[in-house]
Amino acid sequence: MNLFEVNAKNSVLKFIKKTDSKTKQRLKDIIITLKDNPVPARIYDVAKLKGFDSTYRLRIGNLRLVYEVFWADKKILLHKIESRESVYESM
């Protein structure tokens, strides 16, 4: 039973389209997990971002997925996925 709807910004969709098949599969598994558990801290390395209400960072090797949880609407928005070095620059 999927409790949360997951949406992604165009930049995330573009990244997923261009990435290798192994990373695509990892991202697919993560998105499926997020639908049932928006903060899967026991499964993945997830941390709440300081200065934001419901924005989290999920570590995938050298990549970081930044997403926001809208608890009342039961929605998740994937904001960006980039390398560790550049993901926080525009935030």
pLDDT digits (tens, 9 = 90+) for 29-39: 999 999 999 99
Query: Is 29 part of a structural domain of the chain?
Result: yes
Residue 31 belongs to what domain range? 5-83
Query: Is 30 part of a structural domain of the chain?
Result: yes
CATH number of the domain within which 31 lies: 3.30.2310.20
Query: Is 48 part of a structural domain of the chain?
Result: yes
Average pLDDT, the chain: 92
Query: Is 91 part of a structural domain of the chain?
Result: no
Q: Give the tens place of pLDDT for each residue, 35-58.
A: 999 999 999 999 999 999 999 999
Number of domains forming the structure of the chain: 1
Q: Give the tens place of pLDDT for each residue, 2-32.
A: 699 999 999 999 999 999 999 999 999 999 9
Q: How many CB atoms lie within 10 A of CB 71?
A: 11
Query: Is 76 part of a structural domain of the chain?
Result: yes
What phi-psi label fits residue 11: left (phi over 0), alpha (psi between -120 and 50 degrees) or beta?
alpha
Instruction: Copy the structure tokens of residue 3.
Output: 């409790």
